[in-house]
Structure 1
């Protein structure tokens, strides 16, 4: 969609949400500048709304399906109308088609069907594409592998970690679509999944239960392209809320363009990503690479410690446990990273620099780490 079409879709959505108490009549906007003056919506805002209008929240106005999503320490309801389910199915059908799944393909769906409802949302998208779906859910990997072999399954969709188990149990498919946990943001994970499944293609897919889908890779495996007629994405500075230019990384903010039940406008996801523009399309080249929680400013650079998890997961000999120490012994910030396990220290330091955008002054490997997390000794 071009800017004019997208702004028109934004105004249609603002009209849909106009009667909801949570939004207090946001009204139409006549420019992107005006749109970015609209307030952000946070998880804390949603939690307060559910508490004040228990149990459904003020965004409830009847639905065709109710599911749940984690929100803080609780589960919060998510509502979809009949129109929502149709819009989601259309968007997901396009995402799966671009990923390489074709009408007539037989697909094993290992996303969960209970509580969160991801499995049924994905199934509707596959059905809209014309694929044949086996609703397996995240059950026994050996049983899933047997089903793949016996019924000549073409594609597998689900969590990458479960796909590895299914592949190790002997399954082979042409195409894998992974979501629900870090995937291509972990160095080497795509290759591991492809090797395990004997797959020609393994692509990443991103969405939250409230906004599903947001972006997905094509069969070219070159980053996640936004589903820009279904959801509008911004990448903002998590401290100032200012829109960041392409090439920068920051917090993903997402707005529904087509949603009646639980519509979200300028919702701060807390997810960390970089964005870029290619031939008029917006891409998240590395998908979601971490969270913006606990960010620090070190050596003039915003540093996101939680993004280290996807880096460490790419090294087989590491446990994933780490301690990041920041100090200022004189006038310059110093970064020391202590990691549990074994790895090539030069390769690890290079990978950490690539992800954090700042080089650690020291990387130490230990057999057993006594304290994990972030230690900021500068103040």
Structure 2
């Protein structure tokens, strides 16, 4: 563990924010706890508010800038094209595990404002071939009408030969992928569990 800590300290010595603030190495975990200060929220916000994001200026220009609350301030999240591709790959594993893929239609009801949620989920699903309805939060009755309106399109687009999908809540069948927009179960057990799926 000590070797890993010292390797990290050596790497941080090359970062303009940490250079001069941290020891080059430590001899024990106790020395690490004593000599390595924690970054405060105020320090991070002050540095990010410097022109060009100060010491945290990205080496690669960002293609997307979200903001995240930090106390009373908003701190930017800078994402390069490579960052977005890495996020898409990681989130793709989650969508696969949920049985969401090409042929599905998803309504995104997270916000599309300064924060990461709505656009984040939309781009992940679009990268996997999922059709997205960027609805945003609120207006529940309209969201329900839009979901009903788009349900026939969902049914037409999905493949009847698909073997991958989320399990039925009642029988755990994986016979077919179940659309999140469909109002009833489309598994082989639909007659038994229609009311619960």
Q: Sort the TM-score into its range (normalised by shorter chain).
A: 0.5 to 0.7
1:85 lines up with 2:110 in the alignment: no
Higher helix share: 2
1:58 lines up with 2:83 in the alignment: no
Equivalent residue runs for 1:265-344 within 5 Å: none
Match of 2:110 in 1: 111
The CA RMSD over aligned residues, in Å, is 3.7
Match of 2:47 in 1: 49
Match of 2:173 in 1: none
Assess if the C-alpha contact under 8 Å between 1:97 and 1:129 holds in 2.
Answer: no
Choose from 21, 27, 33 the match for 2:16. Answer: 21
CA shift at 1:127, angstroms? 2.0
Aligned residues: 146
Match of 2:180 in 1: 155
Cα distance per residue 1:17-51 (max 9 Å; x no partner): 7754224398xx9xxx8xx9776545344223224
CA shift at 1:95, angstroms? 1.5
- Distance change (3 Å), C-alpha of 1:135 and 1:20: farther
Assess if the C-alpha contact under 8 Å between 1:50 and 1:57 holds in 2.
Answer: yes
Aligned counterparts of 1:122 and 1:18: Cα–Cα separation in 2: 36
Aligned counterparts of 2:75 and 2:114: Cα–Cα separation in 1: 10
Calculate the TM-score normalised by the size of structure 2.
0.58
Tell which structure's C-alpha radius of gyration is larger.
2
Higher strand share: 1
CA shift at 1:136, angstroms? 1.3
The 3-state SS of whatever aligns with 1:120 is helix
- Distance change (3 Å), C-alpha of 1:130 and 1:73: same
The answer for unaligned runs of 5 or more in structure 2 is 155-178, 186-194
